[in-house]
Amino acid sequence: MPTLDEKPRLRRFLEENVLLIDREMFAFLPEAEPLGLLYAPMRDYPLRGGKRFRSAMVLLACEALGGDRRLALRTAAAFEMFQSFALVHDDIEDGSEMRRGKPCLHRMHGIPISINVGDALYAKVFEVLLANRDLMGEEKTLGLIAEMVAGARETFEGQAYDIGWARDGTVPTVEAFMTMLRKKTGWYSGRGPCTAGAIIAGVDGERCRGIGDFGESIAVAFQLRDDLLNLQVSDRDTQVAPGATSGGYGKEWGGDIAEGKRTLMVIDLLNVCDAAEHSRVLEILDRDRALNTPGEVEWIISLMARHGSIARAQAVCERMAREGMEHLGRLPDSEAKETLREMAAFLVERVF
């Protein structure tokens, strides 16, 4: 797994700011009643760790565009809450087993309580953003809320494609898959945080779009890398939650295949394998995940490697990362810009 040993600027930034982001976030997540049924589960995923790169991106984008990153802490916390909400619902929709090294929330508390927890986290996002009025006034606060609303719509549209394809047994084109990624992951993991940083910095127009393009490209590359990692992560790393300054994966090996997800590797494989392999792969992908064996998952992964699907997906990941770096290169030189560069490298560097 990647480490930050060779990225001291990023390590220093995270060590200085993640605690500040978390302090802001947990200030809006009280230990109140009904504690066991709502507020403790709302705090669960944030307490398990996570890279916090979305929230860090808000701060860095703001600073790279000349803003005061201290004014961005609250908005950064809102993006962390959005991430937690999205994960709670995504895990239910996918029937996932593990999240950040522990059982998913719905495996611990049941689906009804977990849906309510996710809904409450989504509502908290806007409570946090509204609290920006005292920090930066009405205009920027409304701009941030409008960006969050638009980005949430993009995320839900992307998720509709993702889970709909699995439900219907549809194999999308590569172009349709990339559109889904830009909607589902590209906004809330990249474009949204970067655009929010630009709004706080008081920047609009081409510079705002440019930092958003950087964020989207890196977010898509990161998701492709995460999908690749799902195929080859070690047993140890499935049990270790990712942290802001450490490795770990925290999800089950081969879970995407067991869930029938249409990843880039799956789409590529189905486009190049022979008829018998095509039929068998779809049979495994389209049945209930409880019926799939580790041997069948391993067979699909080995087929991907043999047909070059993993290598081609890795090449797309690297291309998206390069595109992101090109967008970043257009910004004026600064400490924040270089930290963003290190973050992008950390998120998408090749690990196998």
- pLDDT tens-digit profile of 69-110? 999 999 999 999 999 999 999 999 988 888 988 999 999 999
Q: Using an 8 Å Cβ cutoff, are 256 and 272 in contact?
A: no
Structural domain includes residue 96: yes
CA-to-CA distance for 344 and 294, rounded, in angstroms? 33
- Confidence check: pLDDT of 293 > 50: yes
Q: Using an 8 Å Cβ cutoff, are 82 and 122 in contact?
A: yes
Structural domain includes residue 324: yes
Residues in Cβ contact with 155 at an 8 Å cutoff, skipping those fewer than 6 apart: 86, 183, 184, 187, 188
Q: Quote the pLDDT of residue 92.
A: 95
CA-to-CA distance for 83 and 192, rounded, in angstroms? 12
Q: Quote the pLDDT of residue 2.
A: 54
Over the Cα atoms of the chain, what is R_g?
20
Q: Quote the pLDDT of residue 288.
A: 85
Structural domain includes residue 262: yes
Residue 162 one-letter amino acid = D
Residue 133 to residues 59, 82, 85, 200: CA-CA distances in angstroms?
18, 19, 23, 12
Structural domain includes residue 1: no
CATH number of the domain where residue 270 is located: 1.10.600.10
Q: And the tokens for 120? A: 């409450």
Within 13 A of 1's CA, how many CA atoms are on the CB side? 22
Structural domain includes residue 167: yes
Tell me which residue of 301, 93, 155, 318 sits closest to 222, measured CA to CA: 318
CA-to-CA distance for 258 and 238, rounded, in angstroms? 15
Going by the DSSP 8-state scheme, the letter that residue 110 receives in this structure is -
pTM summary value: 0.89
Structural domain includes residue 229: yes
Phi, psi of 102 (to 5 degrees): -135, 165
Q: Count up the domains in the chain and report the number.
A: 1
Q: Quote the pLDDT of residue 93.
A: 93
Residue with tokens 């802490």: 73
Q: Quote the pLDDT of residue 200.
A: 98
Reported as a single tens digit per residue, the pLDDT across 3-12 is 666 688 999 9
Q: Which domain range does residue 129 map to?
A: 8-348
Q: Quote the pLDDT of residue 239.
A: 46
Structural domain includes residue 233: yes
CA-to-CA distance for 184 and 154, rounded, in angstroms? 6
Provide the strand spans (E) within 177-267: none
Structural domain includes residue 3: no
Residues in Cβ contact with 12 at an 8 Å cutoff, skipping those fewer than 6 apart: none
For residue 135, the tally of other CB atoms under 10 A from its CB is 16
- Confidence check: pLDDT of 185 > 70: yes
Residue 75 one-letter amino acid = T
The percent of residues in the chain predicted with pLDDT above 70, rounded, is 91
Residue with tokens 């950040």: 100
Question: Over the chain, what is the mean pLDDT?
Answer: 91
CA-to-CA distance for 120 and 177, rounded, in angstroms? 30
Residues facing 98 on adjacent strands: 103
For residue 326, the tally of other CB atoms under 10 A from its CB is 12
